[in-house]
């Protein structure tokens, strides 16, 4: 048997290792995203990538049979879930996942110090991290446009949920770090499952299928690095707690997006999260992403 190249994301790390890895990640992330445009919550290289997609648009050969079904259900589910076709459900689930992310990052961006005011390397890393998340939101919007959904509005969540997301970045590190890490891990798990679903459901639209996967890959490559980077904030005790949080977090989050339970096997997603070790991340992603030194075998 070929030995695995990478170790579990829950592998232990010393403080010294984590400091060295933060320094290495900081070099990686600057090269990866390019210049930060603070006012626009954007990054030069990511902006150029999105623009190249927009300059070469791909659209469905056969428009969605029932776009009204998407628009009726994408913010709040109105119809019976069983009455909706899988393509529509996939698209509303993408919107709902991205909407949570968008609400979360608005809170984090408002609370976190600007790059000019960031003193520690961790603060600088976090500023770029949140800017990348805004780029993901734009990429998700482009995925929906690729399917002809040009009238999507990004709507805040109900006030209580908005409030919760605003409080989250204010938590002290020992409470924040584990959930922040598990949230990133959940993103990667969802994106890998979504990648396979796009293959299955868009088989009749090969150009759109490839474009949607290319847009998703841009997100996933960042998210693999985010998982690694957020793991790097966590000490030996916290990483054990993080593993225990995978199941309740995934279940709680996806309970809020009922489409996910129909489209995906949530139990398998939980297992994939608990077992995550980079070995299933394709080489073309690993090359553009970042993995902590202590997860390399
Ligand atoms: Fe993201
Ligand atoms: Fe992320």
Tens digit of each residue's pLDDT (9 = 90 or more) over 127-146: 999 999 999 999 999 999 99
- Stretch 236-259: mean pLDDT: 96
Per-residue pLDDT, 168? 86
What is the average pLDDT value for the chain, to the nearest integer? Answer: 96
Classify 15-295 by CATH class: mainly alpha
- Stretch 77-101: mean pLDDT: 95
Structure tokens at 187: 């993103």
Q: Which ligand is nearest to the CA of 223?
A: 2
- Stretch 199-216: mean pLDDT: 98
Cα atoms found within 13 Å of the Cα of residue 3, Cβ hemisphere only: 3
CA of 222 to the centre of ligand 2 (A): 7
Q: Taking 90 as the threshold, does the pLDDT of residue 12 lie above it? A: yes
Cα 257 from Cα 59, distance rounded (Å) = 26
CA of 194 to the centre of ligand 1 (A): 14
In a 3-state reduction of DSSP, which class is residue 275?
A: coil
pLDDT digits (tens, 9 = 90+) for 180-197: 999 999 999 999 999 999
Look at the block and give the residue holding tokens 């002290």.
172
Look at the block and give the residue holding tokens 């984090």.
108
- Res. 98 pLDDT band, cuts 50 70 90: very high
Task: Yes or no: say if 74 and 94 are a contact pair by the CB < 8 Å rule.
Answer: no
CA distances from 27 to 16, 31, 122, 125, 253 (A): 17, 6, 12, 10, 32
Per-residue pLDDT, 2? 60
pTM of the model: 0.96
Structure tokens at 23: 């320094």
- Stretch 201-220: mean pLDDT: 98
Structure tokens at 146: 């690729």
């Amino acid at each position: 048997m070929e030995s695995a190249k990478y170790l579990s994301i829950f592998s232990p790390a010393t403080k010294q290792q984590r400091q060295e890895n933060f320094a290495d990640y900081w070099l990686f992330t600057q090269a990866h995203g390019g210049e930060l445009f603070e006012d626009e919550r954007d990054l030069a290289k990511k902006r150029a990538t999105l623009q190249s997609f927009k300059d070469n648009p791909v659209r469905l050969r056969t428009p969605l049979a029932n776009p009204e079904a998407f628009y009726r259900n994408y913010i709040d589910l109105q119809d019976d879930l069983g009455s909706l076709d899988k393509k529509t459900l996939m698209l509303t689930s993408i919107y709902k996942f991205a909407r949570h992310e968008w609400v979360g990052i608005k809170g984090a961006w408002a609370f976190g110090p600007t790059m000019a005011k960031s003193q520690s390397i961790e603060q600088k890393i976090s500023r770029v991290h949140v800017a990348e998340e805004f780029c993901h939101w734009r990429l998700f919007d482009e995925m929906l446009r690729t399917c002809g959904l040009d009238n999507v509005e990004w709507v805040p969540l109900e006030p209580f949920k908005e409030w919760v997301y605003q409080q989250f970045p204010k938590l002290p590190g020992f409470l924040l770090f584990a959930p922040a890490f598990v949230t990133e891990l959940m993103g990667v798990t969802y994106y890998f499952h979504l990648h396979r679903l796009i293959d299955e459901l868009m088989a009749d639209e090969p150009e759109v299928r490839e474009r949607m996967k290319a847009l998703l890959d841009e997100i996933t490559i960042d998210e693999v690095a985010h998982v690694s980077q957020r793991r790097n904030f966590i000490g030996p005790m916290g990483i054990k707690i993080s593993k225990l949080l995978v199941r309740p977090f995934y279940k709680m989050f996806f309970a809020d997006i009922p489409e996910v339970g129909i489209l995906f096997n949530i139990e398998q997603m939980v297992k994939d999260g608990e077992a995550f070790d980079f070995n299933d991340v394709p080489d073309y992603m690993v090359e553009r992403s970042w993995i902590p030194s202590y997860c390399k075998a």
